[in-house]
Structures are given as C-alpha cells and as structure tokens.
C-alpha cells in the first residue's frame, strides 16, 4: 500500500493516483478535474487540482468532496498554496493533500495553508520529512492552522 503523511504521521493510503488516460476511474481513485466534473455523484469523491485550475469549480461541492489533491508538477509553482487556503477559507473540511514535486522544506507553508496530507513521489522521503513539520513554532500572520495573527495574540 502506498504511504503518505497524514496529520503528522505516516499511514497507508487507499486512494489510487489520478490518471488522465482513464475513461472510467475507479471509485477509490483521485479524479482529474475534468473526470471529476463528469461525475454524476460527487459525494465522497477525490479530485486533483493542477496549477491553473483554480478552486472555483469545486466551490459548489465542498461538503461532498472527501479529498482534494493539490498537485505540484514543480515545487516553484506556488499557485497550490492559494488553492489550499481558499478551499479552507470557503469552509472545506475534507483532506487536502499535497502531491507531486513539492519539497519537505515547504511543509511548514503547506500545512499552514491547510494541507493535512503529504504524498511524495519518493516514499523514502516521508520519514525524514516529518522533522520539517516542526521547523517553526510561532508565526506572524494568520493562516489556516492559526487563524489569529500574532498582533491579536500579543498581550
């Protein structure tokens, strides 16, 4: 079974990765956005956002979706950071997993914007990456993990 980091620990993953060549993705498969849009029933579904997709298409179904995979084809493309945060701000409570080629040094930022799962292409990176979740213990600005900015928390 493939593995990922979920809520700070390494666990097995039941979802099959997105595959845009499939006409009929399995029910436990992450759908590409267009596959997902064609799904008649969105309840319990999983959908992957690519840079450029935006969160707009998902907004109507935020209570139905089980997993949003935010894909990073390259780690320098930061659009996914905004996607994750916007989804959370609009009330999405399911899993947001970062997938693709992000790096462990981005884990603080990713978890701050609302990602709670991290799936590396190379699983040997999972164990050492856990440490990067602890890089910082304080933050200035409001984000998903800490909705109050420091200026509201300073005495």
Partner 1 sequence: MYVYDKVDQKIIDERVAQYRDQTARYLAGELSEEQFLPLRLQNGLYIQRLAPMLRIAVPYGLLNTRQVRKLAWLSREYDKGYVHISTRQNVQMNWPQLPEVPDILAELAAVEMHAVQTSGNCIRNTTTDQFAGVAPDELTDPRPYCELIRQWSTFHPEFAFLPRKFKIAVCGSESDRAAIYAHDIGLELVRNDKGEIGLKVLAGGGLGRTPVIGSVICDWLAPRHMLTYLEAILRVYNQHGRRDNKYKARIKILVRAMGVDAFRAAVEKEWAAIKDGPSTLTENALAHAASFFTDPPYETLDGAAANRELADLCSEDAIFSNWVERNTREHRVDGYRSVTVSLKATGFPPGDITAEQLEQLADLADEFSFGEIRTTHQQNLVLADVRSADLHSLWQRLQPLGLATANIGYLTDMICCPGGDYCALANAKSIPVAEAIQARFDDMDYVYDLGPIDVNISGCMNACGHHHIGHIGILGVDKKGQEFYQVCLGGSQAKDASIGKILGPSFKQEDMPDVMEKILDTFVSLRAEEESFLDTYRRVGIDPFKERVYAEAD
Instruction: Report whether 38 contacts 151 (CB < 8 A).
Output: no
Cα–Cα distance measured from residue 61 to residue 57, given in angstroms and rounded to the nearest whole number: 8
Residue that has been written with the tokens 């884990």 in this structure: 107
Interface residue with partner 1 among 77, 94, 130, 133 (CB under 8 A) is 77
Interface residue with partner 1 among 31, 42, 85, 97 (CB under 8 A) is 85
Closer by beta carbon to partner 1, 66 or else 146 = 146
Q: Is 10 in the site for partner 1 (CB under 8 A)?
A: no
Sheet with 67-72, strands from edge to edge, namely: 9-12, 3-6, 117-120, 95-100, 67-72, 46-49, 31-32
Q: Is 127 in the site for partner 1 (CB under 8 A)?
A: no
Q: Is 60 in the site for partner 1 (CB under 8 A)?
A: no
List the structure tokens of 92.
Answer: 């999405």
Closer by beta carbon to partner 1, 20 or else 136 = 136
Helix (H, G, I), strand (E, B) or coil at 86: helix
Cα–Cα distance measured from residue 55 to residue 87, given in angstroms and rounded to the nearest whole number: 7
Q: Is 94 in the site for partner 1 (CB under 8 A)?
A: no
List the structure tokens of 64.
Answer: 């139905």
Interface residue with partner 1 among 2, 8, 44, 149 (CB under 8 A) is 149
Helix (H, G, I), strand (E, B) or coil at 31: strand
Interface residue with partner 1 among 22, 38, 103, 121 (CB under 8 A) is 103
**Region from 11-19, 29-37, 39-47, 84-92 binding partner 1, contact rule CB under 8 A:** 84-92
Residues that bind partner 1 (CB under 8 A): 51, 54, 75-79, 81-83, 85-86, 89-90, 103, 105-106, 108-110, 112-113, 135-143, 147-152, 154
């Amino acid at each position: 079974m493939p593995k990922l980091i979920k809520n700070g620990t390494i666990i097995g993953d039941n979802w099959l990765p997105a595959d845009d060549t499939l006409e009929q993705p399995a029910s436990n498969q992450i759908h590409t956005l267009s596959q997902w849009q064609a799904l008649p029933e969105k309840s319990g579904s999983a959908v992957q956002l690519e840079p450029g997709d935006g969160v707009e298409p998902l907004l109507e179904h935020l209570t139905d979706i089980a997993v949003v995979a935010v894909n990073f084809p390259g780690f320098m493309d930061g659009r996914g950071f905004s996607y994750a945060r916007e989804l959370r701000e609009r009330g999405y409570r399911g899993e947001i997993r970062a997938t693709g080629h992000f790096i462990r040094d981005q884990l603080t930022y990713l978890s701050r914007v609302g990602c709670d799962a991290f799936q590396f292409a190379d699983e040997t990176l999972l164990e050492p990456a856990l440490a990067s979740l602890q890089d910082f213990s304080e933050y200035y600005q409001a984000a998903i993990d800490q909705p109050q900015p420091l200026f509201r928390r300073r005495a």
